[in-house]
Amino acid sequence: MATRLRKSSPTKLSKAPSKAPAKVSAKPPATKSAGKRAPAGDAGARTTLAEVMAALEAAGSAQTKKTYLRHGAVEPLFGVSFATLKTLHKRIRVDHDLALALWATGNFDARNLAVKVVDPARMTIAELDRWARESMVRMCKGYVAAVACEGPHGRSRADAWLAAPDEPRRTMGWSLVGALAMCDTTVPDAWFDARLAEIERGIAAAPNAVRYAMNVALLSIGCRDARLRKAATAAAKRIGPVEVDHGDTACQTPDAVASIDKAWAHSLAKGFESPAAHERSRESMRLRC
């Protein structure tokens, strides 16, 4: 999302005396590289759903809420800045059960916090499918895609969502393609070659949100390695400019060729072999943004 949002004042959460939660592993699967992960929450410091919802409500801003609504968010929401969500995440860290409860509220801000405190390794296929269907705001689809990418079902969900009849899951599928391209070293390049062919065939006629996600996936595939950089750049040149209606926002559609070149120049200057390798050295996007 291109619009810069005003920071809300950090909101403190009180510690609720309760039994220590079950130990949750925050490590990604051994065969995957999904960026640095947050440690599990402190034993005895677990916060309740009611406490978190009260903190979110107190941190809400009318101006931030207005901005989110322009980007497609729907009620209920408080308008909590992502800076404040990061503060709350640092306090809670990983609490999978709380994440599921936050998502179940249907509150936009609660769901944005849920993707930060969830344990991707514990997400079931049914839970991922539900989150994909219910994540309606384009600016937040990358977060659920990151959750899927960091867990054991990333590749299977990408295949399933790309073939889904509904637009939300197809959009999420392409967001997940981009996440896999950047973060999952176990997916063979041939799979991404097939996705490039699909993008080239279908992007022009795709619905608005799907078209945007396909363009971002194209860009991400071009950042995976040197061969796919050439393949994605060639496909992007054949496709030409991609037009997406962003409504009453300052968001813009990235030019894939220019964005790929810029990403490679930046990462090579930093000493990384590719932008994807650079991304894998960082904290997960869903946690840092």
pLDDT digits (tens, 9 = 90+) for 45-88: 689 999 999 999 999 999 999 999 998 899 999 999 999 999 99
Per residue in 212-258, pLDDT tens? 999 999 999 999 999 999 999 999 999 999 999 888 888 889 999 99
Contact 7, 81 (CB under 8 A): yes
Task: Say if residues 22 and 119 touch (Cβ distance below 8 Å).
Answer: no
Q: Give the pLDDT of residue 50.
A: 98
- Whole-number Å distance between alpha carbons of 159 and 247: 29
Least confident residue range of 15-24, 65-74, 76-85, 129-138: 15-24
Distances (CA, A) of 166 to 103, 162, 213, 259: 20, 9, 14, 29
Q: Is the CB of residue 158 less than 8 Å from the CB of residue 187?
A: no
- CA–CA dist 201, 28 (Å, integer): 34
| H, E, C per residue of 79-133 | CCCHHHHHHHHHHHCECHHHHHHHHHCCCHHHHHHHHHHCCHHHCCHHHHHHHHH
Q: Are 88 and 13 in contact (CB under 8 A)?
A: yes
Instruction: Tell me which H or E stretch contains 235.
Output: helix 226-239
Q: Which residues does 235 contact at the CB level (< 8 Å), separation at least 6?
A: 196, 199, 200, 218
Three-state secondary structure of 36-58: ECCCECCCCCCCCHHHHHHHHHH
Model confidence, pTM: 0.84
- Structure token pair of residue 50: 């009611």
pLDDT band at 32 (very low <50, low <70, confident <90, very high): low
Residue pLDDT, tens place only, 83-124:
999 999 999 999 999 999 999 999 999 999 999 999 999 999
